[in-house]
Structure 1
Amino acid sequence: MKDFHDIRFPTTLSFGSVGGPERRTEIAALVNGFEERNTPWAHSRRRYDAGLALRSLDDIARLISFFEARRGQLIGFRWKDWSDFTSCAPSGDVDFEDQIIGEGDGVRREFSLSKTYRSGDAEYVRPILKPVDGTVRAGLEGDELLEGVHWELDAARGVLTFADPPDIGVRVTAGFEFDVPVRFDTDRIEVSVASFQAGEVPNVPVVEVRL
């Protein structure tokens, strides 16, 4: 059995969930009062709680079906992070020049999708492994190219393959919507029908997985 199912958690159930990125920072306090800070993680990891988005007993039934089909924590799946799921600003529309994903060298044909987060002079480049098929646009040096003619998408890996390698120095750009690869962070779902109807919801932790 594969350890990842290329299926998205129902968006009607994820809308209203809470979560976001986490980092791991190791801090050593020195005797002079200064600190040394390091991290073993090159990339952040996202966590969510799907329980807060559940609004009805039908939602609970859909959750349990999805949970059982994934065998609890065993099998990963796609998750839509409603606060961060596009290559552009939340108020914008996906454009083929949203992100620079590489530069041509005249030989290379494969380019991995990524999203760059900037603040001041600092930036973080996040690999995008689960783009949403049908939303991806791509271009070279300001000219949009056609999927199926000039390039193909591997939606399972987030990789664009061009029919011809981009020329040396040519900017390779892309725009897209994307999901987060996750798994349930529990092997147990506890639901009390009485308490749920009274306004209480179960805890349904979800955590990003490395692929």
Structure 2
Amino acid sequence: MAFHEVRFPTDLSFGAMGGPERRTEIVTLRNGFEERNTPWAHSRRRYDAGLGLRSLVDVEALIAFFEARRGQLHGFRWKDWADYSSAPGGEAPRVDDQALGVSDGARLSYSLCKTYGQGQSAYVRPIRKPVESSVRVAVGGRELDPVSEFFVDFETGEVLLSEPAPAQSDITAGFLFDVPVRFDTDRIDISLPTFNAGQVPNVPVVEIRI
């Protein structure tokens, strides 16, 4: 299995339905109370790509992309139109959108992430697939030059500073990002009569760990 650094056609993913999924194990005790736990540290997103199909041209594009990925075999990038920016509401990224860490005076590498919620219950989501040329980084509020002062690995979401930031400096970033996914089926069933009548095929897509 490999990961193909290509994005599913965005005009098709725009009409898709989906979002985050959690796994919670619930045990009801004899006294009626519950014990709840989860084996997942991170949520997993699922989508239905079939809902974005509006024409035979879209069907052809879907089939071509599906065949090039060999069904479930290879992963690819997916734009989640409901959540693709470090800034709220899908706005353009700002350099202080997300906190990446605090410098110890020696550290060079920081991982992109997005925080949901506030306080102790906040969830920090790793961002592995930033969009190329969209990442902005700042040290202590000063924006860095993307050419000379930092490097971004767009396949892993790692930011590498050219030199260590002063100790106790806040490292922040803003960025656009994709979700690493694969098809969750090796089969696509499409009937032209039913498609023309408004019935779309089910094409499940699921997030993968990178």
Q: So what's the TM-score if we normalise by structure 1? A: 0.97
Do the aligned partners of 2:84 and 2:90 also contact (CA within 8 Å) in 1? no
Do the aligned partners of 2:85 and 2:93 also contact (CA within 8 Å) in 1? yes
> For residue 142 of structure 2, what is the amino acid of its counterpart?
D
Quote how far apart the aligned CAs of 1:91 are.
5.3
2:199 alignment counterpart = 200
Post-superposition Cα deviations, 1:62-121, rounded to whole Å, max 9, x if no partner, equal 000000000000000000000000001115321010000111011110100000001565
1:191 alignment counterpart = 190
1:159 alignment counterpart = 158
2:55 alignment counterpart = 56
Number of residues of Structure 1 aligned to a counterpart in Structure 2: 210
Do the aligned partners of 2:82 and 2:90 also contact (CA within 8 Å) in 1? no
Which runs of 5 or more structure 1 residues have no equivalent in the other structure?
none
Whole-Å separation in 2 of the counterparts to 1:153 and 1:91: 21
Whole-Å separation in 1 of the counterparts to 2:154 and 2:89: 22
- Helix, strand or coil at the partner of 2:134: coil
Quote how far apart the aligned CAs of 1:139 are.
0.4
Whole-Å separation in 2 of the counterparts to 1:102 and 1:82: 27
2:123 alignment counterpart = 124
Whole-Å separation in 2 of the counterparts to 1:154 and 1:108: 17
> For residue 169 of structure 1, what is the amino acid of its counterpart?
Q
Whole-Å separation in 1 of the counterparts to 2:65 and 2:120: 42
1:142 alignment counterpart = 141
Post-superposition Cα deviations, 1:4-38, rounded to whole Å, max 9, x if no partner, equal 10100000110010000000000010011100000
2:88 alignment counterpart = 89
Whole-Å separation in 2 of the counterparts to 1:100 and 1:168: 15
Matched, 1:100 2:99: yes
2:175 alignment counterpart = 176
Whole-Å separation in 2 of the counterparts to 1:119 and 1:20: 20
Whole-Å separation in 1 of the counterparts to 2:191 and 2:74: 25
RMSD over aligned CA atoms reads 1.0
- Helix, strand or coil at the partner of 1:90: helix
Which runs of 5 or more structure 2 residues have no equivalent in the other structure?
none
Do the aligned partners of 2:83 and 2:90 also contact (CA within 8 Å) in 1? no
Post-superposition Cα deviations, 1:34-65, rounded to whole Å, max 9, x if no partner, equal 00000000000000001011000000000000
- Helix, strand or coil at the partner of 1:190: coil
Matched, 1:76 2:75: yes
1:32 alignment counterpart = 31
Mark the CA change 1:173 to 1:119 in structure 2 (over 3 Å): closer, same or farther.
closer
Quote how far apart the aligned CAs of 1:122 are.
1.8
2:66 alignment counterpart = 67
Post-superposition Cα deviations, 1:130-149, rounded to whole Å, max 9, x if no partner, equal 00001110101111111021
2:2 alignment counterpart = 3
Whole-Å separation in 2 of the counterparts to 1:91 and 1:16: 16
